[in-house]
Amino acid sequence: MVEIATAEQMFDLGKSIGEHMKQGDLLLLSGPLGAGKTVFVQGLGSALGIAGITSPTFVISRTYKGLLPLIHVDAYRLLQSDNPNLAIDDLDLDTERENSVMVIEWGGEVAARLSQERLEISIDRESEVRKVTASGFGKRWGGFSL
């Protein structure tokens, strides 16, 4: 667990993790509204040579070209549907994911089934200082720590 007090620190954490990303990686990002998820992804994108990342809340998914393609998905609106499993499946994420780095916000258990090899980042915003934890799954991310 790391404590993050500023947006700059959140950006830097994303950039640090972005430096470890490889083609086919899946990162699930959770935290309440305003926790800093998009700032984290902006930092991650910076490590991949990508600028101009914005929240995909209203378009669901954005793809950016960089050292590795980045697919940034915000599943918040999908999870409000009657069957979030179908909504995630409708995005056809498996097709693009193997050649890209994919970050899914609000994915939870539905997105976790996309891969046993994934990194899950959780941002707790109970106070002004965010508490960020990481859980790695599979051979690729098992044992990963912040």
d(CA 90, CA 66): 25
Give the pLDDT confidence score for residue 86 in this predicted structure.
Answer: 46
Note the Cα 16 to chain centre separation in Å: 13
106: confidence class by pLDDT, cuts 50, 70, 90: confident
Instruction: Decide if pLDDT at 104 tops 70.
Output: yes
99: confidence class by pLDDT, cuts 50, 70, 90: confident
Tens-place pLDDT, residues 43-71: 999 999 999 999 876 667 788 999 999 99
Count of C-beta atoms within a 10 Å radius of residue 77? 14
Tens-place pLDDT, residues 1-18: 999 999 999 999 999 999
Mean pLDDT within 92-118: 77
Considering the entire predicted model, what is its pTM? 0.87
Instruction: Decide if pLDDT at 95 tops 90.
Output: no
Tens-place pLDDT, residues 109-142: 767 777 889 999 999 998 889 999 999 999 999 9
Sorted by where each starts, the structural domains of the chain and their CATH numbers stand as 2-141 (3.40.50.300)
Q: Which residue has the tokens 């050649």?
A: 99
Task: Select the highest-mean-pLDDT range: 30-44, 70-84, 104-118.
Answer: 30-44
Give the pLDDT confidence score for residue 91 in this predicted structure.
Answer: 56
Count of C-beta atoms within a 10 Å radius of residue 6? 13
